[in-house]
Each structure stands twice: as structure tokens, then as C-alpha cells.
Structure 1
């Protein structure tokens, strides 16, 4: 068995394709109308076709359930946050913040209230700490990870 992709139901396919392209730089790989595959292993399915596949009514499909998220990593968080700031219609779950291990993250909703998390690439967190003057040992302690993890990331 092989995991292939994550599929999410969307209310407006054209707007969703545009959102994922404009915000997350995902491109359409295959477009079958009611089903669209994007780069990164995400598939969009129209709500109408999805309801038919799973034999559910409109009132049985729950958006904005806050029970899962699509997770992305970004090398340049500052540039990404500046880009988000220029997009007027972004509804945030929370603004940019830093976890205890040093990774900066932001969470926001897509057009159908699916949560998207964009986290700073962990190698970039390590680089930021090392460039900021921390030693390998101090970086490992700051991030609560083994020293070998830091060393491997720096190779």
C-alpha cells in the first residue's frame, strides 16, 4: 500500500485553485473538473461530487471543524509573512508565533475553513540559531533535540 494524497472538499473549485496557487504557490497537475490534483500531494474535490461519493447530505458535511490541518514548511518565513500581510482576505487561526523549540508558525483558513499551517523549515531554525551566535550544543538545548540532529542538519 502507498499513501497518495490528501483530498479536501471545496465549495468553489476555481476560487480554491486560485487561492492555493496565490497563497501557497501550488500548481495544478491534473484538472478533471470536479477533481483537481495540485503539487504537494493535495487534491481538491467539489462539494457536490464529494457528497455523492460518500452518500451524505449538505447538512452532514462539516467545514471549519478545526480537527485537522494541511502542514507546509517555508524556508523564508519573513518573506512569506509579508506576502500573507498583502493578501486582504486571509482569516487567521493565529498570527505568526514561535514555539518553545524555536520554530515560527502561522495558521490560517483556506476559503472553506480548512486550517493551513505554515511552519519555518527546521533546518532554517537551526541556521537562524547558529547564525545568531548559539553553539551546536546551545542550539540543541534550545530546541530540545539531540546534538546529532543539529550536526546532521548542518551538513
Structure 2
């Protein structure tokens, strides 16, 4: 068994594709009309066809119980660009206890999108601030081996 693609049901596929292009830089790699696959493997399916597939009409959006997670190498640049995109935030940028900065926001159908700072970038940020690898491991609450792998 192998997981292939997460798939989001969307009310307006063209509007959603444009959102993912503008905000996250994703591109369409397969276009089947009512189903499109974007770079990274994210699939989008139109609401009407999905209702037909499952034989149910009670599809709801905005349940706040699922998210699509992305990591970004240059988090500061991404955050600056995101501010220009007029997105609705779940929460502003925050830093988790292990040091990773993240932001969560909604796509046009209120699916939650999380973008986190790449963990190697977190390690590098701490090292560049003058922390030793052991201090970084303690700060991030991870084994020193993880920090050493990140720094290679």
C-alpha cells in the first residue's frame, strides 16, 4: 500500500489553482478538467464531480480538522510575500517551542494551509546566532545526531 496524493475538494477549481500558484508557487502538472494535480502531488477535485463520486451531497468546508503542510527554506521571504496575498490567517506567524516558525491560513474553501520553516533552516538559524550544536539540540529537544544530520 502506498499513499499517492492528498486531494482537496474545491468549489471553484480555477480560483483555487490561481490561489496555490500565487501564494505557494505551485503549478499544474496534470489537468483532467475536473481534477488537477499540482507540483508536490496536491490534487484538486471539483465539488460537483466529488459529490457524484461518493453519492452524497453533504460536503462541508472549513472544519478546522485537517491541514496541508509545506516547509519553506526561506521563511522570511515567504512571510513577506504572504503579507501581500490578502489571505485569511488561522493565526499569524508564531514560533513553536522547538524553534520552528510557522503560519497557518485558509485557502479559498477554508482548507487550512500550514507553512513551516524548514527544520534545517531552523538549525542553521540557531547555529548562526552563536549557539553550539549541543545547545541547539537542547533548544529543539532533539538528539544531537539530528542536529549533526541537519548541518551536513
TM-score range (shorter-chain normalised) is over 0.9
Q: Deviation of residue 62 (structure 1)? A: 1.3
What are the superposed Cα offsets for residues 63-86 of structure 1, whole Å, 9 maximum, x if unpaired?
000111000000111111110111
Residue 2 in 1 paired to residue 2 in 2?
yes
What are the superposed Cα offsets for residues 30-66 of structure 1, whole Å, 9 maximum, x if unpaired?
1111000111111000000010001111xx1110001
Question: Given the alignment, which residue of 117, 120, 142 partners 1:120?
Answer: 117
What are the superposed Cα offsets for residues 119-142 of structure 1, whole Å, 9 maximum, x if unpaired?
000000000000000000000000
Q: Deviation of residue 87 (structure 1)? A: 1.1
| Aligned-partner SS, 1:127 | helix
Q: Name 2:39's counterpart in structure 1.
A: 39
Matched residues in 1 for 2:31 and 2:39: separation? 12
Unpaired segments ≥5 residues, structure 2: none
Q: How many residues align?
A: 152
Q: Name 1:78's counterpart in structure 2.
A: 76
Matched residues in 1 for 2:29 and 2:75: separation? 26
Question: Given the alignment, which residue of 83, 98, 101 partners 1:104?
Answer: 101
Q: Name 1:13's counterpart in structure 2.
A: 13
Q: Deviation of residue 98 (structure 1)? A: 0.1
Matched residues in 1 for 2:41 and 2:47: separation? 19
Q: What TM-score results when the alignment is normalised by the length of structure 2?
A: 0.98
Deviating runs (4+, > 3 A) in structure 1? Answer: none
Question: Given the alignment, which residue of 130, 140, 147 partners 1:150?
Answer: 147
| Aligned-partner SS, 1:15 | helix
Q: What TM-score results when the alignment is normalised by the length of structure 1?
A: 0.97
Unpaired segments ≥5 residues, structure 1: none
Deviates more, 1:105-114 or 1:25-34: 25-34
Q: Deviation of residue 14 (structure 1)? A: 0.6
Matched residues in 2 for 1:31 and 1:148: separation? 42
| Aligned-partner SS, 1:40 | helix
| Aligned-partner SS, 1:30 | strand
